[in-house]
Amino acid sequence: MSTIALIFLLALNSLAQGVEKLDTISLEFQRKVVIGDSTEIVKGIVYYQAPQKMFVQVQEPVNQIMLINGGTMLIYYPVEQKAFRIKAKGPIPMPFIQTVLSVMKDDYGLTEMGYTLAKHEKKGETLYTYWDPPRKLKKYLETFVLGTVDGVLVYTETRAAKGKAIAKSFYKNHIELAGKRFPLEIHSETIEGSKRTKEFVIYSDVKLNASLPDKVVNFQIPDSVPIEEVEW
């Protein structure tokens, strides 16, 4: 994950507490990342349980389970019988699920996170709003740009401080979820110096407030598998 994407995901984590109507989320995903001549495709299923628990079952290219619960992340490889417990100083970002949580909030949750609206302009059908980050993030981020068409999210742009990096995302193929329009496709591009990363995410079978499988709710790494502790 790029530096700028990680910083913004950390900022978005506070939104999970504010989406009271979403107790659980489940979805299937396909994520393709292209860096130069290298392409990686990951497929799997994600389950979310409010307020800060996420279970990821990666199906391709490897069999992997990842469980995030607040500031702890467990990574388990059933075939290799290996496991890692990563402890962080704060909440760990929740990829995939965070998009759902953010879309459910007015103005993408920016006001709630401490962003202030600097200006707005309309180009064609798209309304662009420009947001200044809260003081605690100003040394990391510059203006955040939000693009909407008739209130539907279609574009975001994040710039790292001093122009060190820029990330742009385009949101497509929207469906209605809980009265909001949620994108099933996200195309992103991040530029950090000479490094350019392209990411294509496709969501499917999105379900809100459905019962989670027992394997998710009561997941435990087998006692026979040693767990390597990692500080983050």
- State the CATH class of domain 3-222: mainly beta
Q: Which of 8-12, 83-87, 160-164, 209-213 has the lowest mean pLDDT?
A: 8-12
Cα dihedral sign for 62, 26, 115, 113? negative
pLDDT of 112-169, one tens digit each?
888 999 999 999 999 999 999 988 888 888 889 999 999 999 999 988 887 777 899 9
Which of 11-20, 38-47, 135-144, 191-200: highest mean pLDDT? 38-47
Entry pTM: 0.84
**Separation between Cα atoms, residue 208 and residue 220, nearest integer Å:** 24
Cα radius of gyration (the chain): 18
> Mean pLDDT over residues 49-66, rounded?
92
Q: Is 224 left (phi over 0), alpha (psi -120 to 50) or beta?
A: alpha
**Separation between Cα atoms, residue 223 and residue 126, nearest integer Å:** 54
